[in-house]
Copies of this chain bind each other. A is one copy, B any other.
């Protein structure tokens, strides 16, 4: 691993742990046991590290979003899609936990984040339409629009609400609960099959919570 990569890894871990406002470039150098000058040689402070981390996140998220509706062959595949999206967000959770504050401070990230949001909305809609074509989902067009928006809202703000309420849960419990939340939105449009899939999810969620 190059020093640049090691810096990004250390920065990401620290930012996720402490939050963006609490971390300085010197803190990052300290946890890496290198001099601030050495870090500065690779990145001109936090102002370059944060955008570099965003690029990493956006690249990985685009790969997930581009996987496309062809991967959706059953209700459970929508669930797996939600799981992968949420895990990726969790890996870069410091962005989402203080999204407004970070976008105010790094305005160059705003159009990039907006693009990601548009592509996320497109992917959600394509997946739901694929489920419709397969006959799993039965929904009016206006309600489909509302469903897409609600899933997007869940993907974007799940960590904010949890943080606001000081909910202290492990990564896997937080992700499982949010997958459940998001899947519950489309269950009423799926008839018996949807409800069965949800029951399976609840069992998995309970097993997952019990092993903590």
Contacts and interface: CB of A to CB of B under 8 A. Distances in A.
A97 B101 CA distance: 10
Majority secondary structure of chain A interface residues (helix, strand, loop or mixed): helix
A134 interface: no
A161 interface: yes
Contacts of A189: 188
A101 B104 CA distance: 9
Copies in the complex: 2
A35 interface: no
Q: Interface size bucket, A side?
A: 35 or more
A32 B167 CA distance: 42
A202 B140 CA distance: 13
A158 B149 CA distance: 10
A104 B146 contact: no
Contacts of A146: 180-181, 184-185
Contacts of A157: 153, 156-157, 160-161
B181 A150 contact: yes
A165 B100 contact: no
A142 interface: yes
A158 B153 CA distance: 8
A26 interface: no
Given A114-B164, A117-B164, A153-B153, 7 more contacts: A143-B184, A149-B161, A149-B181, A152-B161, A153-B157, A153-B158, A157-B161
